Chains A and B, each alone.
Chain A
Amino acid sequence: MNMPSTLFDKIWERHVVNRRTDYPDLLYIDRHFIHEVTSPQAFDGLRKRGLPVARIEQTIATADHNVPTKNQHLPIAEKLSRFQVETLRENCKAFGLPLHDLGSEKQGIVHVIGPEQGWTLPGMTIVCGDSHTSTHGALGTIAFGIGTSQVEQVLATQAILQYKPKTMRINIDGVLAKGVLSKDIILYIISQITTSGGTGYFVEYAGSAIRALSMEARMTICNMSIEMGARGGIIAPDETTFEYVKGRTFAPKGENWEKSVADWATLKTDNNAVFDQEHHFKAEDIEPWITYGTNPGMGIGVTQNIPELALNHTAKDMNKSLTYMGLEPQQALLGKKIDYVFIGSCTNSRIEDLRLVADIVKGKQKAKAVEVWIVPGSKKVEAQAIEEGLDKVFEAAGFDLRQPGCSACLGMNEDKIPKGKYCVSTSNRNFEGRQGPGSRTFLASPFTAAIAAITGTIEDARTYVG
């Protein structure tokens, strides 16, 4: 009998092309997503070597990081951004790659369009020059972010050199309170594991609270695996996964579907498989979670006070962080006035997120002093929101519904939070200057963000959602 193995091991071993002692494994890649920011230097590399793209049909290109979220039908106003997107167009044309360009119905944030189009399927290996590639692990894939040199490797060979990471399992059992979302689960986990505790590991999320989540809610969890240092996160495929994938544009059909599901159903960790590290958390311990500092590990329950010292931080680092944020140890965040709300990013910009927000704001008005940006993750999400009339709800509330892209998550385009302003954001990083120079970010769930938009303050979502 074979040794019991983990889900991660099973998928990894299926993709090893070559193994040599002390050397990294050569791993075959099923899907490669590329975008305008981390690909131009890789294409230049191919040109210098005189190499083609090895597997065009396995490479998906879109523009998302550096695109405006207004007037996408017009040429991009900002010169450098326009040049970068035009460079992607030229590279795709020169190398024969289809591009899901601005305005096309399949355009959107890479980690949103992959699953929604059925490009992301259980059991795959997936890479992209973006650290949030971990998102795709929600469908039971090994998916991780890579640098541009590796983008070039994968374009050239459809394979990548990787040392096999260690494995960690994080179990969340129990039932979440009303008003607590998967975003709260992952912010809670990161505050326990810290921003470096997952480094060197690939994380499997398991337990009854994970099983109970929808596919899109699971994506939010896997998305932020990188924020604890882990290369990726994975959730074993189950009926929820198959139901989600079924009928998607690029999902297998007919007889192939049946065969695929039969195979995918075997993708789970064996009983008695051993992880290098294992953690257990209770869903009942998780309240709406929010960050107060300048990395995603600096988070607290929304009713708690800012600690004197965050786990694994020195007093000097803590002080630097709180000074930047304009906050004090022992201060409460409940009732804290905020200036901006950003609902978007590969973490929380899917149709379910927009529905959750609409449920809260329906028939209400945003707080006067607050500016609210809502940026759908893809053209498909945007179209669906309009079909369901969510756009009307947002418009009536005074929200600014924009066009798909990464937007104020990283402030590469003009969507920046001004210096010193507080933003409740559904995105994934609260680093200094991340949302614009001097911006101050509170990472939170779509519920917490929607309520902040209405009240202008940080509130406990449990008291608003019943």
Chain B
Amino acid sequence: MKEIKSTCIPLQIANIDTDQVIPARFLKATTREGFGDNLFRDWRYLPGDVPNPDFVLNNSTYSGSVLVAGKNFGCGSSREHAAWALADYGFNIVISSFFADIFKGNALNNGILPIQVSDEILATLFEKIDQNPATEIFVDLPNETLEILGTDIKISFKINAYKKECLLNGYDDIDYILSMTDKIKAFVLS
């Protein structure tokens, strides 16, 4: 992941908890695949598994690999299944004005970039998408910038140095920790 240009799917609800992203009754699988089918299940479907026409994922006006969500996205349960469901559905970026800690870590561990912007930028982005669903954003990960194309809005965002290196190079936490096995052994003995 280096640069991404995409339209966005707006979900203007605050405090979206991971029970909404993937309800607990769908956590029974023992693999990481297939959770995308049940992403936002109880908002996305009406009783009888009928797609809810009012829910944004069922509205063909909106598409893209970027989810734009209200403040405090991913609060609640630590279930990594929430990140798996988003990735499985096809999202690789989530933009919000605030993320819950555990979700943020889980997202980064699954190649999803959580981009935190100000409340004002988030409001502007929702407004632009509302006015024109074809609005695109451009994310430059190495330079940590986000542009709303067709506007003069270009902002920088922060991502921690370690995870940025992992995302850019496809590195893995366990390989990194295993490179410090001797230090762990020494710690245990000390």
Binding site for B on A (CB under 8 A): 17-18, 22-24, 26, 28, 37-38, 40-41, 44-45, 49, 51, 65-66, 80-81, 83-84, 87, 129-131, 145-150, 152-153, 156-159, 161, 163, 165, 195-196, 199-200, 226-227, 229, 231, 295, 313-314, 316-317, 320, 410-412, 429, 431-434, 437
Contacts and interface: CB of A to CB of B under 8 A. Distances in A.
B188 interface: yes
A171 B174 CA distance: 39
B102 interface: yes
A433 B26 CA distance: 12
B180 interface: yes
Interface string B15-35: 101011001110111111000
B100 A196 contact: yes
A112 to B, nearest CB: 18
Contact of A22 (B101, B162, B173): B162
The 7 closest A-B pairs by CB, nearest first: A147-B80, A40-B30, A80-B28, A147-B106, A145-B78, A149-B109, A131-B78
Interface in B120-151: none
A196 B110 CA distance: 23
Contact of B177 (A81, A146, A147, A159): A159
Given A81-B28, A157-B184, A131 B19 contact: no
A410 B28 CA distance: 13
Given A18-B180, A157-B177, A412-B25, A83 B14 contact: no
Contacts of B81: 148
B183 interface: yes
A149 B106 contact: yes
A434 B27 contact: no
B42 to A, nearest CB: 5
23 contacts: A17-B187, A18-B180, A23-B161, A24-B162, A41-B80, A80-B29, A146-B78, A149-B80, A149-B109, A153-B173, A157-B178, A159-B184, A163-B160, A165-B101, A195-B75, A196-B75, A199-B98, A199-B101, A229-B101, A295-B75, A317-B70, A412-B28, A431-B19
A313 B25 contact: no
B23 A152 contact: no
B178 to A, nearest CB: 7
Given A196-B98, A231-B102, A433 B42 contact: yes
- Residues of B in contact with A, size category: 35 or more
B127 to A, nearest CB: 14
Contact of A431 (B27, B70, B76, B102): B76
A163 B101 CA distance: 11
B102 A28 contact: no
Given A149-B106, A153-B173, 4 more contacts: A45-B174, A84-B28, A150-B109, A199-B100
